[in-house]
Structure 1
Amino acid sequence: MEQQKLPNATLILVFGIISIVTCCCYGIIGLIFGIIGLVLAKKATILYAVNPSMYEGYNNVKLGKTLSIIGIVLNILVIFFFVWIISIIGWDALQNEELMRERMEDYFQNLE
């Protein structure tokens, strides 16, 4: 019997890569891609576990799942970083460069 490719195996891998690459986009876009990749990987893993001799491409699923997990963690860290920055300098300082510079200097002087 000829082996079939696992459904969405390549897509899972691509979503894992995209979730890591887009972590610079405020963490939201990459988090969405990472979660979708993880859900698709779970479905593909269940399908592969039922009949492993029928499917090929499970390595792409495993790698995509790993990349999705790494992407989710990175995106959560980026979100926490931006929340931390906004809590330090305030939302209004993000729009005004001089005010941002003042608040950052005040913050770092208080650390010393």
Structure 2
Amino acid sequence: MEKQTLPNSTLILVFGILSILGCCCYGILGIIFAVVAIVLAKKATALYMENPELYEGYNNVKTGKILAIIGLILSIIYLIYVIFLFATVGFEGYQEMIEELRRSAGA
């Protein structure tokens, strides 16, 4: 009998990678991609555990789940930092900090 690829195994891996990259977008995109990847990984793991001899691609699922957990943690940390930053200096102060960083990087 030929082994089938686990459903969404590649998608889980891609979403895990995107969750790490998405933490740079104020953490929101990273959280969304991470949660979707973790939910899909849970379903794929349950399917694999029922009949492991029928499926391949479980390594992609495990790797994607680990990346999604890392991305979720990074995104949550960054989101908390952004909320703290806006609460302390406000939006105008944040814009001034960004402008000062741009001036110092260009000089």
Q: Which TM-score band (shorter chain)?
A: 0.7 to 0.9
Map 1:23-42; keep pairs closer than 5 Å: 23-42=23-42
CA distance in 1, matches of 2:26, 2:92: 17
| 1:43 lines up with 2:50 in the alignment | no
**Runs of 5+ in structure 1 lacking a partner?**
102-112
CA distance in 2, matches of 1:6, 1:53: 11
Residue type matched to 1:91 in 2?
F
CA shift at 1:92, angstroms? Answer: 3.9
Residue type matched to 2:66 in 1?
T
| 1:73 lines up with 2:80 in the alignment | no
CA shift at 1:22, angstroms? Answer: 1.4
Corresponding residue for 2:20? 20
Q: What is the DSSP-based 3-state SS (H/G/I as helix, E as strand, rest coil) of the residue aligned with 1:91? A: helix
Corresponding residue for 1:105? none
Q: CA RMSD in A?
A: 1.6
Q: What is the DSSP-based 3-state SS (H/G/I as helix, E as strand, rest coil) of the residue aligned with 2:7? A: coil
Corresponding residue for 1:107? none
Q: Percent identity?
A: 56
CA contact (8 A) 2:85 2:94 kept: no
Q: TM-score under structure 2 normalisation?
A: 0.86
CA distance in 2, matches of 1:35, 1:22: 12
CA distance in 2, matches of 1:90, 1:7: 45
Q: How many residues align?
A: 99
Per-residue displacement from partner, 1:43-72 (whole Å, max 9, x unpaired)? Answer: 000000000000000000000000000000
| 1:2 lines up with 2:5 in the alignment | no
Corresponding residue for 1:90? 90
CA distance in 1, matches of 2:21, 2:93: 27
CA shift at 1:93, angstroms? Answer: 3.0
CA shift at 1:87, angstroms? Answer: 1.4
Q: TM-score under structure 1 normalisation?
A: 0.83
